[in-house]
Chains A and B, each alone.
Chain A
Amino acid sequence: MNPGSTAATPFVHEQFETVEQQRSAAQLGMWVFLATEVLFFGGLFLAYTVYRSLYPQTFATASHHTEVILGGINTGILLFSSTLMALAVRAAELRNRKRLVWLLLGTAFLGVVFMAIKGIEYHKDFVEHLVPGSHFVWHEANQSHAEIFFWLYFAMTGLHAIHVIVGIFVLLTLAVLARRGKFTTGHHTPVEIAGLYWHFVDVVWIFLFPLMYLAGHR
Chain B
Amino acid sequence: METTTHSPRVYWKTCAALMALLAVTWSIGYVNLGSFNLVVALAISISKALLVALFFMHMKGSSRLLHFAATAGVIWLLILFSLTLGDYFTRDRGSSQVTPSQIPEHFDGER
Contact = CB atoms under 8 A, between A and B. Distances in A.
A35 interface: yes
A50 interface: yes
Interface residues of A, number: 49
A211 B4 CA distance: 35
Query: What does DSSP make chain A's interface, helix, strand, loop or mixed?
Result: helix
A68 B41 CA distance: 14
Interface of A: 24, 27-28, 31-32, 34-39, 42-43, 46, 49-50, 53, 68, 72, 75-76, 79-80, 82-83, 85-87, 89-90, 93-94, 195-196, 199-200, 202-203, 206-207, 209-211, 213-218
18 contacts: A28-B66, A31-B70, A39-B76, A42-B76, A50-B85, A72-B22, A82-B52, A86-B55, A86-B56, A89-B5, A206-B45, A210-B45, A211-B41, A214-B41, A215-B38, A217-B31, A217-B32, A217-B33
B95 interface: no
Contacts of A72: 22, 26
Interface of B: 1, 3-6, 8, 11-12, 14-15, 18-19, 22, 25-26, 28-33, 37-38, 41-42, 44-45, 48-49, 52-53, 55-57, 62-63, 65-66, 69-70, 72-74, 76-77, 80-81, 84-85, 88-89
